[in-house]
Amino acid sequence: MLKHLAIILFVLVCPAWTYSAEKPNVIIFFLDDSGYGDFSFNGNPTIHTPNIDRLAQDGVHFTQFYVSTAACSASRYALLTGRYPLRSGLGNWVLGPRAKQHIHTNEITIAEGLKSVGYTTAMFGKWHLGNPNKANAMSADTLPLAHGFDQWIGTNVSHDYSNAKLLKSDARGTDPIKGYSEIARNLPSDKKASTSLTGRYTDAAVKFIKANKDKPFFAYIAHNQPHLGLFASDAFKGKSRRGLLGDVMAEIDDSVGRVMQTLKQEGIEKNTLVVFSSDNGPWLRYKKKNNPRNLDVGYAYPFRDGKGCASWEGGFRVPGIFYWPGIIDSKRQQQPASTLDILPTLFKICGVEIPVDRSIDGRDIRPLLSSKLSTNKKVAPFKFIYSYSRNEPAAIRQGPWKLHVKLGSQLNNNYGFTASYEKPLLFQVEQDLEESFDCAHQHRDRVKKMLKELELYRNQVKKEGSF
């Protein structure tokens, strides 16, 4: 009910809407477990990503871009809602196929906001924000069509789960799962289906773009790769100098290239804003000696750790690219930003009112993208909370300073450090990329101030509650 009232308010407060160059199409590419160092534009010497490189070169490439947590479900929640995962009520950073919880129907997603002002919406890829099961009475509220998407093809969870399914939906019916058809199940064993995912999503996205070229659309392309296990189609196997990981990244890059070529062919590239990022860093727990998956794991270099860590940069620092020819100029943006900022920025660009009945933790970062998008030259200061496994805060960043109060690593070490609220760690992460030099003793006042900010955040979330 709350969400429905909020969407009605969107429509009432927005002026009469017409399609124009000021209402761009929006495409978000969101990879799975792709590290900061998995791309040639970030210096990888043997992974070749020319199409993604072009987006970075000709658009705004953020060198300090973050996700809210180093694991899947919570990271996707934050992207789609602009809210920290602790507000979600999910209770965990990853939702398994049997979990009762799912993204709440009262949340307002990017898709719902854009749909409220006339956009056609579609998702192509991994959802992982809920799954119909006995615990939730097989509720279709767990899946994308209940959260603003007109159509979807993708997996309910990561493809390495034994009961992962490839589903497709075109319409939401009254029956709990009506409108969703099953294409394949048990994806770890169904190599043919798993190998087809990247190409299948790309084919569907291209078809969607062509069908909606004359009206505004939003496409959320959430590739399953390069999450382990890695799968590349025959056209890309054995073609990379980096082995299977390089093959997988080449196919993802080809997906980006095909989508961009479609925009150009249909004459709508200059009226389309493209965002490219990843849900967290690489799954380094498998990068161990005598492990057959060792060479499949990606890179978070030059940062410490990766997926599943509590607060080290390698789990949270990801690519962040915004591309819109003629509007966004080529720029290597050194100011920090995060996926939380995507929703409020898109809403401002596309004429959607920002919800006022809940906390939105992201910022409007239009001034960091282009002077053509905003007359305001100032952006709210960057303050960022790193969330851990129960979606609780593990660290906070303000300006160049980062304070750890919780450490955790799937590598089973924390590089000789410990951290707590009583004895936090403080790093200057713009100078100390590897987080090696603790400055807490030299900056006691700064530590106190940042601890107070963490306390204010936790108290505010507790007071506001979740849906």
The pLDDT tens digits for 172-217 are 654 556 678 889 998 999 999 999 999 999 999 999 999 999 999 9
Contacts of 308 (CB under 8 A, 6+ apart): 70, 71, 283, 285, 315, 408, 409, 410
Cβ atoms within 10 Å of 192's Cβ, excluding its own: 9
Q: In the annotation, is 72 catalytic? A: yes
Instruction: Name the catalytic one among 128, 159, 223, 404.
Output: 128
Give me the percent of the chain exceeding a pLDDT of 70.
94
User: Cα separations (Å) of 157 from 48, 94, 112, 266?
Assistant: 28, 10, 21, 33
The values of phi and psi at residue 279, to 5°, are -80, -20
- The domains found in the chain, sorted by start residue, are 23-369 (3.40.720.10), 383-464 (3.30.1120.10)
Digit-coded pLDDT (tens) for 240-292: 999 999 999 999 999 999 999 999 999 999 999 999 999 999 999 988 777 77
Encoded amino acid at 153, one letter: I
Give residue 6's pLDDT: 53
Instruction: Name the catalytic one among 48, 72, 147, 227.
Output: 72
Q: In the annotation, is 61 catalytic? A: no
Q: What does each of the 467 residues of the chain score in pLDDT, given as a tens digit?
A: 556 555 544 444 443 333 345 799 999 999 999 999 999 999 999 999 999 999 999 999 999 999 999 999 999 999 999 999 999 999 999 999 999 999 999 999 999 999 999 999 999 999 999 999 999 999 999 999 999 999 999 999 999 999 899 999 876 654 556 678 889 998 999 999 999 999 999 999 999 999 999 999 999 999 999 999 999 999 999 999 999 999 999 999 999 999 999 999 999 999 999 999 999 999 999 887 777 777 899 999 999 999 999 999 999 999 999 999 999 989 999 999 999 999 999 999 999 999 999 999 999 999 999 999 988 889 999 999 999 999 999 999 999 999 999 999 988 789 999 999 999 999 999 999 999 999 999 999 999 999 999 999 999 999 999 88
Cβ atoms within 10 Å of 444's Cβ, excluding its own: 10
Buried b (16+ CB within 10 A) or exposed e, 100-120: ebbbbeebbbbbbbbbbbbbb
CA gap 308, 329 in Å, rounded:
35
pTM: 0.94
Beta bridge partners of 185: 165
CA gap 150, 119 in Å, rounded:
10
CA gap 148, 128 in Å, rounded:
15
| 63: region left, alpha or beta (phi > 0 left; psi from -120 to 50 alpha) | alpha
Q: DSSP characters for 235-250?
A: TTTT-STTHHHHHHHH
The values of phi and psi at residue 108, to 5°, are -110, 115
